[in-house]
Structure 1
Amino acid sequence: MRTAAVCALLYAATLPAPPAAVPVPPAVSVSVSVTDGVDRAEAGRRLDYRITVHNLGAHDVHRARIEQEMPATTLSATAAGGTVGGHGTSRQKAVWHADLPAHDIQVFTAGAVLGAPRDPDTTAAPGTLRAASTVCVYAGPSAAPTACSGNLDDLPTARPGPERRDTWVWRGAAALVSALFVSGAVRAVRRGRARRSG
């Protein structure tokens, strides 16, 4: 009996150890909200955004990335404590990197100035009815966001602009032609009457 037990122990000692358990990263639970405090915007106005990120989980989130896509008509943008990338309208993006302690709330601020309209007869970029901004939080190197939120502001509809000069030229030419035609018609009528009476 002792011999069998010793053999079993020796055999067990020669077996490879079971693989170590792979550590599972803690689940990330984050919420984000964004607001600029207004409901309507227009060209030339500065919008001040307040972004609130809340780590709802019991574990710290290290090197989180917070990205804000600015409205399509943005001419210039700022991000306190972050960076702004992109040039020209529809390409402005603000980015922050931050550690999010467990149960902590952090606030980020950004600003955007809406660009002047391309066409003087409109107050927004063609096809744009709202100034939309989206904010997403990325935890770690993942390409998928952990949380996203957005903000929409109404833009004024197109307004009729001043009439162009060529419109006035055509109107003046039409009035001149009409005046000459009427004048010629009046002369013809007078000549006809004079012939009849003579």
Structure 2
Amino acid sequence: MRTAAACAVLCAAAFPAPPAAAPAPLDPLDPPAVEVTVTDDVDHAEAGQQLDYRITVHNLGADEVPGARVEQELPATTVSATATDGTIEDEATGGRKAVWHTDLPAYGIAVFSAGAVLGARQSPDTSAAPGTRRAATTVCVYTARSAAPLACSGDLDDLPESRPEAEHGNGVGWAMGALACALFAPGVVRAVRRGRTRRSG
């Protein structure tokens, strides 16, 4: 009996335990409930300023969301960006986005951070990219292979109004012209009247 028991123990040790069962795939018809928020704690921004974003993703469901993808579309005027524990990708349209990959545990919360340094927005008389009058960002959460987001959120910061230099120059020129007319017009009128008086005399 002892020999048989010892053999059983040795045989059990020789064979590895069966692998843990993989998590069940997510049902596309019943997507997990996820909530996302993003903020930079400011309401107004300007060129040269760095905006520090805090992104919070909350899995509201009782099931894990493996391989979740978090994408942040950065403001249109972003000239440089960082994403802690993530990557910055350049898009074909000229924009930039921050990307993270993570597993969201049941009822778990994940926090991400990114920074974006703003450049000058395009002037109003050009075809400005969307969001150039505001520093706009959007964050969406996706499952591993899903093109449709589970949840999205955004943040807007007002940018100061600005006008192109040419417009300022034209404005100054018109102002100088108006001033000159105001100063010299009375003298011109008097000279014309004197000329008419002399002719009539």
The TM-score by the shorter chain falls in which range? 0.5 to 0.7
Residues 52/42 of structure 1: CA separation in 2 closer, same or farther (3 Å cut): same
Partner of 1:164: 169
Q: Is the 8 A contact 1:89 1:115 kept in 2?
A: no
Deviations 1:54-93 (A, max 9, x none): 1122222111100000112222211111111116985111
Aligned length: 171
Counterpart amino acid of 1:39?
A: D
Q: Distance in 2 between matches of 1:127 and 1:69?
A: 11
- Aligned mates of 2:105, 2:131 — CA distance in 1: 42
Q: CA deviation at 1:157?
A: 2.8
Deviations 1:97-132 (A, max 9, x none): 1111112111000011111234499xx979843221
The equivalent position to 1:102 in structure 2, one of 90, 106, 129, is 106
Superposition misfits of 4+ residues, deviation over 3 angstroms: 23-27, 87-90, 117-121, 124-129, 158-163, 165-172, 185-190
Tell me how large the CA RMSD over aligned residues is.
Answer: 4.0
Gaps of 5+ in 2: 1-23
Q: Scaled by the length of structure 2, what TM-score is found?
A: 0.65
What code does the residue aligned with 1:134 have? T
Alignment partners' CA distance in 2, 1:78 and 1:53: 19
Q: Distance in 1 between matches of 2:120 and 2:164?
A: 16
Distance 1:110 1:88, change over 3 A: farther
Cα separation, 1, equivalents of 2:64 and 2:32: 9
> Bigger CA drift: 140-149 or 154-163?
154-163
Give the counterpart of 1:147 among 141, 146, 151.
Answer: 151
**CA 1:88–1:47 in structure 2 vs 1: closer, same or farther (change >3 Å)?**
farther
In structure 2, distance between residues paired with 1:69 and 1:62: 22
Q: Residues 146 and 62 of structure 1: is their aligned pair in 2 closer, same or farther, counting only changes over 3 Å? A: same
SS in 2 for 1:25: coil
**AA at the equivalent of 2:107:** H
Whole-angstrom distance in 1 between the partners of 2:168 and 2:83 = 40
Where in structure 1 are there 5+ consecutive unaligned residues? 1-22
Structure 1 contact 61–100 (Cα < 8 Å) conserved:
yes
Worse-superposed segment, 23-32 or 34-43: 23-32
Q: Tell me by how many angstroms 1:41 deviates.
A: 1.4
Q: Structure 2: how far apart are the matches of 1:126 and 1:67? A: 18
Amino-acid identity (%): 56
Q: What is aligned with 2:33?
A: 29
The offset of 1:151, in angstroms, is: 0.9
